[in-house]
Amino acid sequence: MVHNKLNIFSMIMGLGLAVVGTSAGAAASADSLQQVVERGRDLFMTATFEGGGRHCDTCHKGGGTAMSELPNGKKFASLSNAAAIFPRYDEENHRVKTLQDQVQHCVRDALKGKPPAYDSAEMTELVTYLTSLSQGKRVDMGGKPQ
């Protein structure tokens, strides 16, 4: 059973790396990883994605590292382990949801903006930043946000 989970995990991670490792990832390879993390953090903190003026940090306080609260008062966990709990199974839509899917969902639905394409430099930078927040966290696909 554990062996099968590891094989499935390896396959899914390979697919995720294939998405991130496309042309945008190749373009970013000339930069240091830390520079890409910093550009992703800057996008997280300031980019509105042509939406209504909000950015990721509007809801995900402290650059995604703090507990947060929506305008309606609903509290939710930080993103400190987001990359460690994706991919996840979306019960409502009966499909596997990747971190890239979640980024697109947040930009489209919460920010009312134009989501970055899966193979774009923006997506690579955002996912790299979010992954940096999970550095050292235990991989727990489908686990709970912390």
Number of residues that this document lists for the chain: 146
pTM (predicted TM-score): 0.77
Average pLDDT of span 40-44: 98
User: Does residue 13 carry a pLDDT above 80?
Assistant: no
What are the structure tokens assigned to 119, written together? 């193979």
Average pLDDT over residues 9-29: 47
pLDDT attached to residue 76: 87
* CA 2 remoteness from chain centre: 26
Report the alpha-carbon angle 122-102-86, nearest 5: 105
Phi and psi at residue 19, in whole multiples of 5°? -65, -50
